[in-house]
Structure 1
Amino acid sequence: MKTDPERFILENTSVLAPPHVPEIRLHLASEVHDLWLKTQEDLEAIGLPPPFWAFAWAGGQGLARFILDHPETVRGKSVLDFASGSGIVAIAAAMAGARDVIATDIDPWAKVALRLNAALNGVAISFSQENLIGHDVNVDVILAGDVFYDNSFAEPLVAWLGQLTTRGHLVIVGDPGRSYRPRENLRQLAVYEVPVSRDLEDSEVKRTVVWAFTSGPDQGLITQTPAS
């Protein structure tokens, strides 16, 4: 039987405020939900990809905190939230006064989670399931929270974000010390101590840094994408 995403999310999450961004409410899994304990085999059995959208990851919380504390970063601008997951960063951008916010995630379940979470917070956010890595984008600011966790994903992502920076886009990322964060062409903007669950992380608090990409070597990865 095909699982209905909206019903599943509503039945397996609670409306919670992430500890580092209490202004925002999200449908999140917690220790009281079966979803918290499901293995990859359990998830595959019900046709569910890894539910990254069900957790407020440290990098996303830190980046959302920065945007809310520094609304001038996005106010009046068009914003792309890459690998949006729960939508916490996209929601923060909309709350901070961004002109337009587009959230992107290749997981179709994230689209449903984002719609529910945007409604909780009374903001309007567009969604795209397109894999944008390697393409140009017609926005002012690109935001990405907690995206450097896998080498095969991070390598082309870092090159793409660098390319966008050289083309005049503002690129800001939030990272809690993941293994594949780039070590060059970054400028530190803020540091936060973000409370997290030890069931998800290796500690109860993750030191999370918000970085802005700075111009670096152009590696020629970007192709043109029609403006949407």
Structure 2
Amino acid sequence: MVRGPDLDLQQFIRANLPIAPVPSVPEIRLHKAGPASGLRRLAELDEQGFGSPYWAYYWGGGLALARHILDRPEIVAGRRVLDLGAGSGIVGIAAARAGASEVIAAETDRYAVVAIDLNAAANDVTVSTILGDLTGGPPPPVDIIAVGDLFYERDLAERVTVFLDRCLTAGIDVLIGDPWRAFLPRSRLQLIAEYPVLEFGEAGNAAAKPSAVFSLMPNIV
């Protein structure tokens, strides 16, 4: 493998992250990192920078949100959906399978964008990708925003919440999937459902833990 801008990310993911059905959401298959995937080696090879590989693993909020959308396709059917901070793209893929008219997956990590394209192709769905941080901009032209696992850091959670407030004001619905992490805007959330899921770092024989799906309510001052 070569260094720098000629690094073939698609080739690396295909060769080192095998496709497998997702626990709790077996209708969807994703490229997933394992002990022999060589992500540390990839980080050493990449002169453009290598962030945290959230895109290579399963996360509780995304699993719950994908499960909820597949079980209740009427939530997204015929609607334009944004998967914000999409990671592997699992939520956007679920929305596409459930009949969304358009799905956009937004990510700040170029590896994630490549992985989303590969994962969407593996599931025979169409998901458009955006590389960039949308939270500083205006509400996008969508009907619903799905947010999985973006409340694990205070600064990120605050920035995302401000953006989502602008989207609510513009008439966009917001769904959040999260395993009750510390920086959720809990006073603003309406619990819709909980699902037992196995996320990253848990052994295959571990007990599933609850992850929730919420609707974000407008901030009434």
**TM value normalised by structure 2:** 0.89
> 8, 12, 20: which is aligned to 2:24?
20
Equivalent in the alignment of 2:158: 155
Quick check: 1:78–1:101 contact (8 Å CA) kept in 2? yes
Aligned with residue 10 of structure 2, among 2, 6, 21: 6
What pairs up with 1:14-93 in 2 under 5 angstroms? 14-35=18-39, 38=40, 44-47=43-46, 48-93=50-95
Change (3 A) 1:164 1:209: same
**Residue identity matched to 1:18:** V
1:73-222 counterparts in 2 under 5 A? Answer: 73-134=75-136, 135-198=138-201, 204-217=207-220
Give the superposition deviation at 1:165: 1.5
1:45-96: CA deviations, max 9, x gaps? 2223221111111110100000000100000000000011110000000000
Confirm or deny: 8 A CA contact 1:104 1:130 kept in the other structure. yes
Check 1:34–1:130 CA distance in 2 against 1; reply closer, same or farther (3 A cut): closer
CA spacing shift, 1:197–1:44, aligned 2, 3 Å:
closer
Cα deviation, residue 32, structure 1:
4.3
Contact 1:43 1:50 in 2 (8 A): no
Alpha-carbon distance between aligned partners in 2 of 1:213 and 1:178, rounded to the nearest angstrom:
15
State the distance in 1 between where 2:200 and 2:79 align. 33
Give 1:224's aligned residue.
none
- Comparing 191-200 with 96-105, which one deviates more in the overlay? 191-200
> Match for 2:118: what amino acid?
L
> Alpha-carbon deviations, 1:118-156, whole Å to 9, x = none?
111000111111311032111000001111111111111
TM-score for both structures, normalised by structure 1: 0.87
C-alpha contact (below 8 Å) 1:58/1:196 kept by paired residues:
yes
Deviation at 1:217, TM superposition (A): 3.9
Task: Give, in angstroms, the shift of residue 17 of structure 1.
Answer: 1.1
| Aligned equivalents of 2:42, 2:153: Cα separation in 1 | 20
Name the count of aligned residue pairs.
211
1:222 matched to which residue of 2?
none
Gaps of 5+ in 2: none
Contact 1:103–1:126 (CA under 8 A) maintained in structure 2: yes
Deviation at 1:197, TM superposition (A): 4.2
Distance in 2 between residues matched to 1:19 and 1:62, nearest whole Å: 11
Alpha carbons of structure 1 residues 148 and 204: separation in structure 2 relative to 1, 3 Å: farther
CA RMSD of aligned residues (A): 1.8
